Structure formats: structure tokens, C-alpha cells
Chain A
Amino acid sequence: MINFKLNGKSIVAKKGETIFKVAQRHGVEIPHLCYQDGLAEAGNCRACMVEIKGERTLAASCCRQPTSDMEVSTDNKRTLQAQKMVLELLQSDMPEKDYTLDNELQQWSDKFDVKTSRFKRQRAVVKNDSSHPAITVNLDACIHCTRCLRACRDIQVNDVIGLAKRGTNTEIVFDMQDPLGKSTCVACGECVQACPTGALMPAGEMGMIEADKTVDSVCPYCGVGCLLTYKVKDNKILSVKGRNGPANQQRLCVKGRFGFDYINHPERLTKPLIRRTDIEKTAELDFDPANPLQIFREASWDEALDYAAAGFKDIIKKQGKYALAGLGSAKGSCEEAYLFQKLIRTGFGTDGCGTNNVDHCTRLCHASSVTALLEGLGSGAVSNPMADVKNSDVIIIIGADPTINHPVGASWMKNAIKNGTKLIFMNPRGSELTRHATHFVQFKPASDVALLNAMMNVIVSENLVDQDFIDTNTEGYEELRLHLLDYTPEKMAEICGVSSEEIRQIARLYASAKNAMILWGMGISQHVHGTDNARCLISLCMITGQIGRPGTGLHPLRGQNNVQGASDVGLIPMVFPDYQAVDNNEVQQRFRKLWNVEELDRKAGLTTVEMVNHAFEGKIRGMYIEGENPAMSDPDVLHARVALARLDHLVVQDLFMTETAFYAGVILPAAANAEKTGTYINSDRAVQLGRQAVTPPGEAKQDWWIIQQIAKRLGLDWDYTTPEEIFNEMRQCMDSIAGITWQRLQTESVSYPCLNEGDTGEAIIFKHGFPTKSGKAKLVPASIIPPDEQPDNDYPYILITGRQLEHWHTGSMTRRTKILDSLEPEPWVAVNYRDALQLGLEEGSSMRLETRRGSIETLVRLSDNSPTGTVYMPFCYFEAAANILTNAALDPEAKIAELKYCAVRVSKVKI
């Protein structure tokens, strides 16, 4: 507590507060330009000058803390003269036209009556830089406040923006003074959000259009779950601004900020469609999504819904209910996903007893992680939120590249690293994170178990275990310890391609850290031994007691915006909502009561890939696929397409005519995320509310309405009228969220478990034991299982599939987004420089990839991120669909496919 005088008044400042902040707190306005909440103070604009009695010069109030008995004046003649002249100097070099309606320099000038500038404009003519499709650079409006620089270097740590040259030549530059479109800029837009004068704006002069309204919502893309605000005019989204949510604190990435216009794409489905009777269904994709009427005809909702329901009823009658299956969406809201699984479980059958043949894309993603977590800890979700890395001394990121798929999450990690946190980056491929890592452990693909067991061997043999924690909170340690004896670093070094010395170093670093967190992704999960991989991570965490505190724990980075939610509300064949087993008596009772049915199926249902296999074999005859695109996302996709083509009855509900919709008998046009209200659960277990900002186009409808319509036609007497009603029903059967009210979600994100109304919710869990039967964690040893299809003479390379920053998964949304698609319009495969040399490949040359399942042609991109002997490609390009090549071999427990590893033959395409 510091007592001092502010403009003659006695004021108390908190410890560490600057004069500026104290003044702000007391409603005393001081002009400021380079200061922005959330950025470190720079003190360069000199607009916030104040007079401190006894000091020779004025002081920048944003950079000074008051001391006892200091006397500060913010508005006497001397300070006002300085404040106003700073504004006047800056005004003299501003351009005639405005680039934004929110020009802070203009706003302060108006407030402080700086009308014109007496100084001549002397800024040299500046050409605007429109080289980047997402961001326009108008440096003639730059006031050199460096807010953009701090946004890029300190907040997002993308390190593209700098301040070059000096004096009047001082200039904001990108990379080495390159046009923005040619630079390494990833278009996160943090700089756009930070710029006070419109020098950096979203392309297309959006900044000069006045919005009708703003709507607070959630981003539809990844599992970080950034909160945002839509600016809307005439029922169209103008632009997106970052909003302050616990996961993002106003940050966004290029997709969330600039990837919203897919909802206006002309290919958007606006009417229900029924397959024309004169068109044969082929297994081979042959369609133009802009011309669905070549294959389908328009229908009314009634006709389409009747047709859809009738087809299901028909199959139930003829082949029995087990010949039906449903794939729900991880992108839609929790309410929609809940209704979807309820439909399958009560409607895909007779008398309210359906089946458990319901799944979603988690099967392709973190199914193995969730299986291992449920088995080991009794709970399949993360223990600590992503942003909690700021409390970690050490973080392990393994089998993931968050700079690509969770960019805002990655910014927290980079912030932590800049603040001293050490990163152990364990990945066969390099990344933007490599240069930040204390250890870049580039292990051989699929050798995770060897490496992780070796690390645990070191921790045990060097007595770095947390014996207390092991004794109190785990079971099976002795068996694990004995199992690990064989996995010495010296023995495992050759297998995993990491030196024994490095294995020892990283094991020690992790084990002896005060607080350490493990984050992982598809590199761990998408293998035939994915569950084993995750088991090793759990064991590593358990034997060192790195859980239950800030900065510790286990975080499988959930991919989709609502994959956590979709899993939580039961879009899973083995469990009902909230992971309650379908074959448990008490659970059965609970749901029969709630859903008002006599019976529910006790048999665990089919998983995604199994459904496709059964369809191939004719055992599954009908499917309902909502917001999923297995014809692009399933492994061995040509096989999957044949399977889909063989279905008698396929109902697809989506925004566009996707590859999957090509095989449908009826297509139902649905609403996009910006067109609906509902809850979404992000990777951190936070429940957040998304709001409708615009109306769906044409006759497209809300997913929950469509599902209810089908339910009604299947004999279920549902009468939901709002998503809120659905949410409240969810609370009745899901203890984890029982305490969260719809009202509370209007203003807050709430992390479950939140058992009772009034509970705050829990960001960090496992503080005291685990929700297993014994209360302890189960340690499960893992042995080395080789990948299913290893390289050989015929197929000598390893294919690794994955994602890229600008596109989302199968591309159905982002390929239809002007900005995102123009940033990355063409398919590519990353090839190591040396391999390329040997193969005679150059940047941009055409390359063929062949596996035992199929072949594609695509373009070469040289990369030193890919180790020799491997190639890497994203699966978002329909014209070179990576999953034509991938292997559908499954992890026996989680049934997830080995999308990260198969054998491929590569060759140059001769023109």
C-alpha cells in the first residue's frame, strides 16, 4: 500500500501498480497509445506523460510506480502541453483517409482538442502492402507504438514483426523487410487486434463498415475453445475479434479469426436432397459439390425426413436393428450430440430399445488416450488446462505439434518457455517449437514405448520416483518396476534412435522438476499400440507424482472444438453419457428412467472403423451420419468408400455436399456453428456457450430440430423446444455437469466436474486420488508392439499423415474459406531435402505416393522437419486424399487406426 497524491488528491496505490493503472482505477483519464492491457509496457509513445514534483523531466505514467508521498499531476499546463504535442506530432504524419472506425489516435485527439497539426507532413510516401490475403498493411498510418510487435513477439511468439532501421526511418517490418504475404507470418491476427490506428487491418476494408450487432460466441475449429465476438451486418459476419475466455484471453489463430466465410459459400446446402432414381451409386467419387442436382433432386423437409425415417424402419424390420449405425458430430453442440446418441439408443430399434452402434471421430483421434486414461485413472479427460503450462517448470510435448493444430495453446507454451519453462519436445518431425526446446528428441516413428519405458527405467534405477505418491495413489507398481528392468536406455537407444545419454537427461529433467506436464497428440494415439503409448505416459506421470497440482498432469490435446463434449455426452458405443458403462445395472436403470423406456441395449456397439468394415461386409445396411466425413477421414478410405456405397440407406446431415454425402440416399442441410446456440466443451473440460450470430441459409435447419424430426418419425415422442431444455436433461444424467446452469453459461465458462449448483467447477483434478474403484491409479506395463505395416523393399518409406495450420481436417469448411484456401490452395507432401535429392525431386515437382491400398499424386515441398525415410502430408485435400494411402489396422483395445504409420512407395511423376 503506497500513499501518494494524484492531482492533489490523496490516493492509495497497490504494490506493483503503475501511476497509469492507479489513475485508471480512479477514473482519471490519461491519453495513451503504446499501452495496451495484456502487453508489457513500452513507454515509447510519450502520450501518457505526467509531472512528478521534483523531477527534472516529465515521466511516462505507464512505466512508473508511485513512491510514498510522491506528488503527481496528470493535467497541469506542463503535462497537457506535452500530451497534446505528442498527439499533434503524430497527427502530422497520418494519412488523409481512415483505415478503421476505431482510430485511437483520432479518439484521443478529439478528446484533447487537437484539431489540426501545425507541422508539415514529412512521412515518405508509403505503398500499402496487400500481399497477404488476410491482412492489409498500411504503414502510412503507423505510429510506431510497437503494440503489433509485442503482440507478435511476446504474446503469440511467432516472431515475425520487428522494428527496423532507426530515427525517422524506423519501420515495422516482417521477417527481413519482406512483404507480409511472403513472410513467415501465420496470420494469427494478434497484430491486427493490437493496432490502434488501422495500420494493420483485416483485408477487404472491413474496418470501415459499421456493424449492426456483435454476438459473443466460441470458435468452431479446434479444442482450445477460444472465445470470440462476431461483428454482424445484414445477417452476414463482417469480422471476428478475440474475446476474453479462460483458454485464449482474447487470442485467436488464423482459422478462428479469418475462417468464417465458409458459411456463405455458394455450395452451401439450402434444401433437402433425395438421390435421383436414375443415378447409379458408384464407389468411386465422381461429383461436383457445386452441382448436387446432377445426382440428387430437391425435396421438401417432410418428404426428406419421411424418406430418411422410413429407410431406417425398413432395415430394422428386414435385417434387424443391429444393421443400423450412427456417426454423430464432434463439431456440433453438446445438445445435438446428446440427442443423436439418444436417438440411436432409443429409436434405432423397437419399443424404445435401440442399439449402442453410435460413435464419432474420436475413434480416429484420441480413442486410445481415452481408453488408457479410463483404465488407469477412471477418467478420460485432461487433468490440467493447456494454459496451466505457465506453472510448469518442465513440459513434455510428445507426438504433437500444437503450433499447427492448437496455435493459441502453443502460444501459452511459448510464453512459458520464454519465462523459463523447459520444453522437452519429443517428435519424429521437427516443428516451429524445435528452436524453443531444451531437448528436441527426434525419435524413430512408432518407437514411443521403447523410449518411454527407457525413461522410466532411468527414473526407477536412479531413484527419482516419488515413492510416497506411488504408495498412496497407485496400484501395480511392483509389476511395472520388474517389467521396466529390461528397458535400459542402452538397450532401447538403437530401437528408438535416441542416445542413452539423452534418454537419461530428459528422464532426469522430467522426474526432478518441481512441476511437469505432459501434453500429447496423434503421434501417441494413432497407432496399433496407441493405448500402450498412452499407458506409458500415464505411468511416467504416476511414478513421479507429477499430477494434482498446478503445472502438472496429463493433457491429451483434444482436436475438435467439441470432441470432448461429444465424448462426454455419450457418442461412444461402450458408454452412456458421462462414461457410464452400458452394461452396468445401476446405469441402465438411471437412463431407462430418464428416457422413459423399458429397456436399453446392454451390448457395447460398433466403433467407427468397425462400422465401415461391417458395411463393407453387408452386415450394416443403413447409417445416419451427421457432421462427419468418413469418406475422407477414415483410414484406407477407398475401402471405406466402397463400404458406404454398399449401404442400402445412408442419411447424411451436413453443411455441404461432402465426399460422404456423395453416397447418401438423402441429404439434410444443417446449420453451421455460427448459426446455432449450444454448449461446447473444449480440451480443458470447460463448458462454454456458443451463440447464434446469423440465420442458416435457405431452408437449412438446426441439427437438433432435424434429429428430433427423425426421432418423432421413429416413434419417439420428443418435444424439445430449445437447446436449453436439452442441456437441462443432460444435467440430470451427467453428474459432472449437474451443477452448471444455462444461466451461468451466459457469462462464464465452467470447467467440470461441477457437481452441485454453486460449485465453482474444477480446472485441475486428481488432487486427491482418482475416480477408480480403489481410488488409486492403475499402472499398466506396455511391451513393444511393432507398427502394423513396416517399410520393405516394395514400399521403402514411412508415410506420416497429419494436419496443417490453415486447414481443418477434411477441408470441408476451410477449403471453402477464401482466405484460408488462398493461403494453402494445393495439396503437398513434405520430403526431406536429402531424400528429395536422391529421388530427383525439387520443390513443387509432382510426386506419386503408393501404398498397398491406393495411390495419389501430389506436389513436393522440401522440408528439414521430416526425417529421412519419411514423408508427411495433411489429409485435407480431396484431390489428393491422404487416407487413400493409410492403413486401417486397429489398436485392439481402442479400435483406433494406425493413421500415423504405413509403408509407402514414392516416385517422381514424369510429365
Chain B
Amino acid sequence: MKKNKHRRQKRGRSISASAVDELQKLIKDLPCQRDLLIEYLHRIQDHFHCLPIEHLHALAKILGISQVEVYEVASFYHHFDIVKEGEPRPPELTIRVCDSISCCMAGSEELISQLENTVAKNIRIQAVPCVGRCDSAPIAVIGTNAVPHASVDKINKEIDAASTRDCIPETAILLNEYIKQGGYQLYQQLLNQPDNESVINSLEDSGLRGLGGAGFPVGRKWRIVSEQPSPRVMAVNIDEGEPGTFKDRYYLEHDVHRFFEGMLIAAHVVGVAEIYIYLRDEYAGIRDLLTQEIAALNTQFLMRRLHTNNSVDRFKQQNGKLIKKSGGGAILNLQSLPPIHLRRGAGAYICGEESAMIESIEGKRGMPRQRPPFVAQVGLFNRPTLEHNMESLYWVRDIVEKGSDWFSSQGRNERKGFRSFSVSGRVKNPGVYIAPAGITLLQLVDEYCGGMSQGHKLYGYLPGGASGGILPARLANIPLDFDTLQEYDCFIGSAAIIVLSEQDSARDIATNSMKFFEHESCGQCTPCRLGTTKALNLMQDKNWDIELLQELSIVMQDASICGLGQAAPNPMQCVIRYFPDEIKP
């Protein structure tokens, strides 16, 4: 019989024993769990400054999953650099320069091309989306060290000084200090004398709504989740990625334990077995802070199981006892502390969407889920989940201690409560400002931000980051709050305010936004995956095909799975409605 005489290529790649060894060393302190996949990938990326394919293969082997299951997760997140056999590894040092709205307005594009021409060849320059420091635009992140008001000179100085690591912020109030200032007394009190109903009532009466952007009433959410079958879990969203938003970073830098206390109160009142905190990877110093302070909290208790322990029985309640510290240290008489797991994001704005974040915590691609069912009923690890933006928990202590009126009575123009406005762009003093809900942009800029920057005249503004649309100067006198901007095709979202002057182009801002959404789309559904890219293409035409863009917008709003696709057309729609001169043929 004639033989087919071609040497058969062996099916699939062979495992590298040395890669297995190296990998095992890197992750030996972690339990072997499928949902820790992204944590393992970080270990590899941090060590090798890339993900060599042999190590991904080894990881698949160790976890008992297929190669593609590891690859599809690793390739989803932009902070991971997969390197295949024979391919060159990227340089060890990367400088990430933000090219989102505020930094772009501050000249980041020019900065990027200058850097590309001047910096050493063994340093990689990457344009990246919003890194959450818009008040100091433009930002260049050298390694994990964020350089505010970056310039080529400044950057070179930092490189020369080998400053490539972000540190724990000096402004941070650590555990002992927080306790000295009266912290955790409320939590302690609620543990000793539970009063769930009154806490929930307080929150409901205050009118506090979710501060990540969706605005779901906080008290009602606690009520709904507490009625679901146990075990229930909690997921805290610190993926803060909306261009223009940096309030969560601000609060964490200053008063992290106030957030922790709110979080623990929520866990106790709602009855939560485990807490997962999801932190965007760009906040490296905050990550060290959280790790340190969570450990400090844990050492205050006798824990039967720490979250790093190997024998995991996920959903058993933990009970701890008091350790009296000798020598006048802080005394805590806390009875219980659920396990608190800190999980790193890996460069994906979409993981700020609650169900995508949950997928990411489960070690998967950050693709939003179909709803219903809602995460309150089927969420993290398929359990009922209490999901909150970090700031929503930050205010729990104040509202319970000071009463719901304290919150609801603040407000202007017939609105209730207050917001933490992240203000950036053409104002004298960008930053985080707590101001009454319902304040107008004119009032905000005037009373809090020191007015417009020198030589800049107000032209328009973004009331809610890239998703919230763009309004013209003539509409700078409308109250800024939930529910007040819908009629203008805008929304407040996370209250990320970017102020534009006549030196700016709304069309360019809209194009920058659409590029951002195209870049950050998870790619799951047709209207967003193809809609963002087709829209961007149309927006780059000199003359916009307004009819087609509007048709496309409607379908993106109607048929996308999640808020990213639904909101992506907003800036573009606003240009058509409010800045027609910029797109006139």
C-alpha cells in the first residue's frame, strides 16, 4: 500500500517541565482554585513582564483546564502581554500615557510622540485609556508610578531616579489612627446590638443611590439581597474606569477604613458570607494599601480561615474573637469578620460593569451577563450578590451615625443629597469636590473649582464622563443629578465632570470617546462590537452621515447587552444635537 510519507506534526504543544517548576514557585502561596486564574496571570506578568506561552500552558496543566481556557482569559485583558514561542519579549519597563479626554486636552498625544522619539529603545511607550488621575493631566505612568502633569523632562527625571513603583499614599489614614478617631464604633455597636431594619430604613430614607453610575437605591438593594437564600456574597466595585472619574481613588487615598466600615456594616446587615473587592490594576499604591489594611483588620481577629488558606469551604461564616493588644494599642471588640478577598483588575473598563466584574472575579473574560437573572439573585459564583461601588459604602457610616436627614437635606435646586464630583478639564482647580446634588455646572466651576482656567471660555461640558454625553455652554445652568439630564440625552453617571473651553472641539471629544468605547468593548454582542467601530469610521468622515449614525445609535441603545454599548452613542448624538456647526458639510 502506498504510504502517505509526510512526517506527522505532533498534535498540540509539549509541556515544558521547567515552566511548570517556575510557575509552581511563583504561585506556591496561593490556593489552587480556578477563579484565581487572573491572580496567577498577574504573578507571571509581574515576574517576567509578559506571559510566556510555556507558562500559560503549564498553568493550564496545573489547574486541570485546557490551554484555550487560559488563553482566552489572558488575551482579554490589556495589562497582559502574551508572548508566543520564538517571539521577542517586551521591554521590562513600560510607560503608559493616557490618551483619554482630559489628558488629550492637556496635550498627551504630543507627549506620546515626543516620548516615542526620545526615550531609550528598551522602554516601551503605550497609549492607554483613562487611568483615573484626570485632575493632574496629562498623566504618564512609569511602571506603576503615575507622574502628574507629565512632561518629557519630568519623565526622564523619574526614569533616572528609577522611580517605577507606585507607593502607599502618604495621606492614608491607617487602622490605628482610624480607630483613634472613633472608627469601627458603629460597626461594633451593630454587632452587639443588631438593628438591621433601622439601618436599612436609614439608607432608604436618605435616598442614597449607587454612586458608580447606575444609581440603584442603596437601601432597597440591601433589602432585596437580604431576602435571598444564603449563602450570599458581596462584591465591591473599585474598577473606576469612566474617563473623568477619580473620586474612588481620592477616598481610598484619604480614608480607606471609612469605606471598610461601610462595607462591613453592609455585610453584617445583609448577611454576607464573603466579600470580594475588585480593584482596577492601575491603582497599584492603593492595592498595597488595601492589602496592608485588610491584613491589619484580620490580625485584630482570631480567624479560623484566612482568605489565603488552602482548605477552602467557601461559604461558612467566620467567627473571631477579641485579641487585646498590649501596650496601649487600639482595642477592638469585634466579633466577626467575613473573609475579604482582594482581586486585581487587569486593564478592562468593561469590568466596571457589575456582571462583567463578577465574571472577572470568577477568573473569566469580563463579558457582561444576560439579565435577568439579576446579580442580586444569581451573581458571583451563582450566589445572590450585593454589588456596590466603593463610594456607595463609604457614606454608610455617616448616614447611619448622622441620620438620613443629614444626607437628604443637602441638595440644591430641589434635589436631595450630595455628590462627589470629579472635575477636570479647563478649570483652575481640578479635583474631587463634595457638592450638593442639583448644583449646576456654572455654580460648580465658580464656587468650587476657582473658575475657568486662565484664558479659557466655557464652551461645553461632559456631565457624566465619556458615557454621559456632551452639553453646550448654554445648558450649563441645569441641575446636575440623577434623573435631571435624561431629557437632554445625557446622564450624570459617576459625576465625572469634564469642562470644555472654546479651544476644544466637541466633535474631537466625541471621536475620542467613541475610540475609547471601541477599544473597551468586550466584543460579545454585534451592536456594540461592530457598532462602535462602524460609528467611529463614520465619525472620521469629514461629513457625517447623520441619518445612518442616528439609526445606528438607536440600535446600539436598544439592542446592546450592557451599558457600554447603550451609552457609546451618547457623545456622538450630543454633537449632532448641540454642536451641529462642527459637523456641517
List A residues at the B interface (Cβ < 8 Å). Answer: 41, 43-47, 49, 57-58, 60, 63-64, 78, 81-82, 85-86, 89-90, 92-93, 118-120, 122, 143-144, 159-170, 173-178, 181-185, 267, 288-290, 435, 815-816, 821-826, 843-844, 861-862, 864, 878-879
From residue A574, how far is it (CB to closest CB) to chain B in Å? 37
Complex Cα gap A47–B530 (Å): 13
Are B559 and A58 touching (Cβ within 8 A)? Answer: yes
Given contacts A182-B9, A435-B65, A825-B3, are A164 and B76 in contact (CB under 8 A)? Answer: yes
A167 to B526, CA, bound (A): 10
**B67 at the A/B interface (Cβ < 8 Å)?**
yes
Q: How far is the CA of A113 from the CA of B9 in the complex (A)?
A: 47
Cβ contact within 8 Å between B534 and A167: no
Closest residue to A181 on the B side, CB-wise? Answer: B9
Q: Is the CB of B1 within 8 A of A878?
A: yes
B525 & A46 in contact (Cβ 8 Å cutoff): yes
- Of the candidates B348, B531, B561, which one forms a contact with A89 in the assembled complex, judged by CB atoms under 8 Å apart? B531
Chain B residues with CB below 8 A from A822, complex form: 4, 6, 8
Q: B527 and A175: CB pair below 8 A?
A: no
B552 contact set on A, CB distance < 8 A: 85
Task: Kindly list 12 other residue pairs between chains A and B, CB separation below 8 angstroms, not including A81-B554, A119-B548, A167-B520.
Answer: A45-B525, A57-B566, A58-B558, A60-B370, A85-B552, A122-B533, A167-B529, A168-B518, A168-B529, A175-B68, A825-B5, A826-B7
Q: List 24 A-B contacts (CB under 8 A).
A: A45-B525, A45-B526, A46-B561, A57-B558, A58-B558, A81-B558, A82-B555, A92-B530, A119-B534, A122-B537, A159-B65, A163-B72, A167-B520, A167-B533, A168-B530, A168-B532, A175-B71, A176-B82, A177-B75, A182-B9, A184-B12, A435-B65, A826-B7, A862-B14
- Whether B365 is near chain A, meaning CB under 8 Å from some CB there, is yes
Contact with A along B380-403 (1 / 0, CB 8 A): 000000000000000000000000
By a beta-carbon cutoff of 8 Å, the part of chain B in contact with chain A is 1-15, 53, 56-57, 64-72, 75-76, 82, 84, 348, 350, 365, 370, 372, 518-527, 529-534, 537-538, 548, 551-552, 554-555, 557-561, 566
Kindly state the separation between the CA atoms of A78 and B529 in the bound complex, as whole angstroms. Answer: 20
Q: Given the known A-B contacts A81-B551, A167-B529, are A159 and B69 also in contact in the complex, defined by CB atoms under 8 Å? A: yes
Chain B residue numbers with a CB within 8 Å of A120 are 534, 537
Docked-complex contact A184 and B11, CB < 8 angstroms: yes
Also in contact, A267 and B53, with CB within 8 A (given A46-B559, A92-B530): no
B11 nearest in chain A by CB position:
A184
The CA-CA distance from A815 to B8 in the complex, in Å, is 14
Q: Identify which of B13, B84, B523 contacts A166 (C-beta below 8 A).
A: B523
State the CA gap A161–B66 with chains docked (Å).
Answer: 10
Contacts A168-B521, A175-B13, A183-B11 given: A85-B551 contact, CB under 8 Å? yes
CB-based contact A162/B548 at 8 Å: no
Per the bound structure, the CA–CA distance linking A826 and B12 in Å amounts to: 17
Task: Report the Cα distance A25→B538, complex, angstroms.
Answer: 41
8 nearest A-B residue pairs (beta carbon) = A170-B523, A159-B66, A162-B68, A162-B72, A184-B12, A825-B4, A164-B75, A89-B530
Given A166-B521, A173-B72, A183-B12: A86 and B533 interface contact (C-beta under 8 Å): no
Specify the chain A residue showing the minimal Cβ separation from B12. A184
Residues of chain A contacted by B70 (CB below 8 angstroms): 176
* B370 / chain A contacts, CB cutoff of 8 Å: 41, 43, 60, 63
**Interface pair A144/B523, CB less than 8 Å apart:** yes
Cβ distance B142 to chain A, nearest Cβ, rounded Å: 26
Contact in complex: A122, B559 (CB < 8 Å): no
Closest-by-CB residue of B relative to A62 is: B370
Task: Kindly state the separation between the CA atoms of A395 and B7 in the bound complex, as whole angstroms.
Answer: 38
Cβ-defined contact, A85 with B555, below 8 A: yes
Judging by beta carbons under 8 Å apart, are A843 and B10 in contact? yes
Q: A259 CA to B4 CA in the complex, in Å?
A: 16
Tell me the complex Cα distance, A825–B70, Å: 31
A164 to B69, CA, bound (A): 9
CB distance from B21 to the nearest CB of A (A): 14
Q: How far is it, in angstroms, between the C-alpha of A173 and the C-alpha of B69 when the chains are bound?
A: 10
Evaluate whether A57 and B557 lie within 8 angstroms (CB atoms) in the complex, with A164-B72, A825-B5 already known.
yes
Q: Which residues of A contact B71 (CB under 8 A)?
A: 162, 164, 173, 175-177
In the complex, A692 Cα to B436 Cα: how many Å? Answer: 82
Chain A positions within 8 Å of B15 at CB level: 864
Asked if residues A166 and B365 are in contact (CB atoms below 8 Å), the reply is yes
B525 touches A165 (CB 8 A): no
Contact of A162 with B526 at beta-carbon distance under 8 Å, contacts A46-B559, A81-B554, A118-B548 already known: no
A165 touches B6 (CB 8 A): no
Known: A82-B559, A176-B84, A290-B1. A165 touches B75 (CB 8 A): yes
Which of A118, A119, A163 is close to B365, meaning CB atoms less than 8 Å apart? A163
**Beta-carbon contact of B4 and A44 below 8 Å:** no
| Contact, CB under 8 Å: A435 / B64 | yes
In the bound complex, residues from chain A placing their C-beta under 8 Å from that of B557 are 57
- A164 to chain B: which residues have CB within 8 Å? 71-72, 75-76
Whether A823 touches B8, Cβ cut-off 8 Å, given contacts A60-B370, A122-B537, is yes
- What is the CA–CA distance of A159 and B71 in the complex, to the nearest angstrom? 12
A864: B residues at CB distance < 8 A? 15
Partner of B4, one of A81, A90, A821, A844: A821
**Residue pair B8, A826 in contact (C-beta under 8 Å):** yes
Is the CB–CB distance between B518 and A824 below 8 Å? no
CB neighbours (8 Å) of B6 from chain A are 822, 825
Q: How far in angstroms is the closest Cβ of chain B from A566?
A: 26
Distance A815 CA – B372 CA, assembled complex (angstroms) = 52
A119 and B529 alpha carbons, distance in the complex (Å) = 14
CB distance from A667 to the nearest CB of B (A): 16
Q: Which of A86, A122, A162, A166 is in CB contact (< 8 Å) with B69?
A: A162
**Closest residue of chain B to A93, judged by CB?**
B530
B372: nearest chain-A partner, CB-CB: A64
* A862 smallest CB distance to B (angstroms): 8
Cα(A169)–Cα(B13), bound, Å: 24
Given A46-B559, A86-B559, A163-B365: A122 touches B534 (CB 8 Å cut-off) = yes
* Given A164-B76, A168-B518, A177-B71, A44-B64 contact (CB < 8 Å): no
Bound complex: CA A143 to CA B527 (Å): 12
Please judge, given known A-B contacts A85-B551, A823-B8, whether A166 and B537 are in contact too, CB under 8 Å: no
Supposing A85-B555, A92-B530 touch, asked if A289 and B365 sit within 8 A by C-beta, the answer is no
Residue of chain B at shortest CB distance from A822: B4
User: Which of chain A's residues have a CB closer than 8 A to the CB of B4?
Assistant: 821-822, 825
**Shortest beta-carbon distance from B306 to chain A in Å:** 27
Shortest C-beta distance, B246 to chain A (Å), equals: 24
A168 to B10 CA separation, bound complex (whole angstroms): 32
Distance between Cα atoms of A35 and B531 in the complex (Å): 21
Which among A173, A176, A288, A289 has the greatest number of chain B C-beta atoms within 10 A? A176
A164 to B74 CA separation, bound complex (whole angstroms) = 8
Q: Which of B68, B365, B561 counts the most A-chain CB atoms under 10 A from its CB?
A: B68
Complex contact B523–A49 (CB within 8 A)? no
Q: Which residues of B contact A159 (CB under 8 A)?
A: 65-66, 68-69
Please pick, from A144, A166, A168, A289, the residue contacting B348 in the complex, using a CB distance under 8 A: A166
Nearest residue in A to B61 (C-beta to C-beta)? Answer: A435
Chain A residue with Cβ nearest B82: A176
Closest to A877 in B: B3
Complex Cα spacing A170 to B529, Å:
9
Give complex CA distance A879, B2 in Å: 11
Complex Cα spacing A174 to B537, Å: 30
A861 CA to B12 CA, complexed, in Å: 13
CA distance A301 to B450 in the complex (A): 107
Closest residue of chain B to A65 (Cβ to Cβ) is: B372
A46: B residues at CB distance < 8 A = 525-527, 559-561
Bound complex: CA A224 to CA B538 (Å) = 54
Query: Which chain A residues lie closer than 8 Å to B560 at the CB level?
Result: 46, 57
State whether B559 touches A161 (Cβ < 8 A). no
Contacts of A41 in B (CB 8 A): 370
> How far in angstroms is the closest Cβ of chain B from A598?
47
Q: B523, A167: Cβ atoms under 8 Å? A: yes
**Docked CA distance A163–B8 (Å):** 28
Q: Give CA–CA (A169, B76) in the complex, Å.
A: 10
